[in-house]
Structure 1
């Protein structure tokens, strides 16, 4: 049985990834401070903390790994003008995304089997921004660079790619205009990201790449009325 670790498995996207992998027959461990969905083994872990990551892998006790999905990261916590952004909040956001991906990858790499895959969760915010999102955008931009660096360092035994989701929601109260911003006609869902994870896990000739998953939103030119 193939084995996968998903960080942030209790969140919307992480839970969707865990469920999809379990449905496909994977043995899944969710590294998160909160318990993830049914079908995934819960490993309590703060991925931005070195000791917590080490303890999490010790608790897990696996001797082989086929897939690591670095999905964890807080969002919105530091959404304020850069002149008001504290160093502590800046570091908290970068640690949860970028440092967490580094620490998890460093711990997982010795366990990765030949042909294994690492998938990092970037964002379209690595390429475009709204105001007051410096910490989040910087973290996701760092994920993009970390991805291609790891692909070179860990290849050819392990492939490393990233997914850059756009607007992903589980809400039922979205407006028609929210969906209409997307050329595909709707806002993204967690299962869309999960499908991309399954694709990249088996895409044996793809490494060092960023798969933009945004319903075409970043390709649409928008003018003020």
Structure 2
């Protein structure tokens, strides 16, 4: 488990990663992991107060910018800030999302709610890829899109979230073909991940039943996702692009009959 303070981080490797939605949860876990691996990480989030606090805790290799990824003008300004501060960009991790998987029943689903979910979860990653591409290309960079196992499986009343993540998965392989060979693009699709801060996890642990239903024997952690992202950004994954990696403890392979 990662301690969000990174006093033991590796020396800066000179590479810069932009992680959206990194003020909490999976995005925060990815940011902390990359800092330990020596990356300079730009934390982008629309929660200014928490984002600033998180960057301070993570240390000198973290830098916060405010951004609503669904607003093209904010994406343009934010990327300009990153280039002005660091002069380069090596990785884009599209993690920002409206993470509520459930919407009202279809007959009651308001169009503006549907459109907002798709704007953040799907249009945002497209905008970021569009405006980051020239700078990623200059350094043979990579894009990681955080999708979801809900691109493959659903519960009732989850149309907006499922559609956004299914679209993001398709966007991933489309970008891989459009931006290759200079930029690699892959997707990571988490299942049930305990996204709470470490102190909350320790204070209120999940139950045995939560863990036992997974073929891997436990619910996932943000570190499980972050470790895979770190590998996909490394030279060891240089032959990997256009792919989806499921991090779900085996749940999507499990037959469930009631």
Bigger shift: 215-224 or 29-38? 29-38
Q: CA RMSD in A?
A: 1.3
* Partner of residue 41, structure 2: 28
Scaled by the length of structure 2, the TM-score of the pair is 0.84
Partner of 1:107: helix, strand, or coil?
helix
Aligned counterpart for 1:196 among listed residues 216, 228, 246: 228
Scaled by the length of structure 1, the TM-score of the pair is 0.96
Instruction: Indicate whether 1:184 and 2:197 are aligned.
Output: no
CA distance in 1, matches of 2:132, 2:140: 14
* Partner of residue 92, structure 1: 116
Structure 1, unmatched stretches of 5+, are none
* Partner of residue 152, structure 1: 177
Instruction: Indicate whether 1:106 and 2:130 are aligned.
Output: yes
CA distance in 2, matches of 1:66, 1:49: 22
Q: 1:77 to 1:204 in 2, by over 3 A?
A: closer
Alignment of 1:8-87 (within 5 A): 8-34=21-47, 35=51, 36-37=54-55, 38-39=58-59, 40-60=62-82, 61=84, 62-76=86-100, 79-87=103-111
CA distance in 2, matches of 1:53, 1:151: 21
Whose strand fraction is larger, Structure 1's or Structure 2's? 1
What is the total number of aligned residue pairs between the two structures? 224
* Partner of residue 143, structure 1: 168
CA distance in 1, matches of 2:81, 2:178: 27
* Divergent runs of 4+, >4 A: none
Aligned counterpart for 1:174 among listed residues 206, 231, 256: 206
Structure 2, unmatched stretches of 5+, are 1-13
* Partner of residue 257, structure 2: 223
Instruction: Indicate whether 1:211 and 2:252 are aligned.
Output: no
Render the CA deviation track for 1:35-70: whole Å, top value 9, x for unaligned.
044232111000011111112122222432111000
Render the CA deviation track for 1:51-91: whole Å, top value 9, x for unaligned.
11112122222432111000000122752111111110001
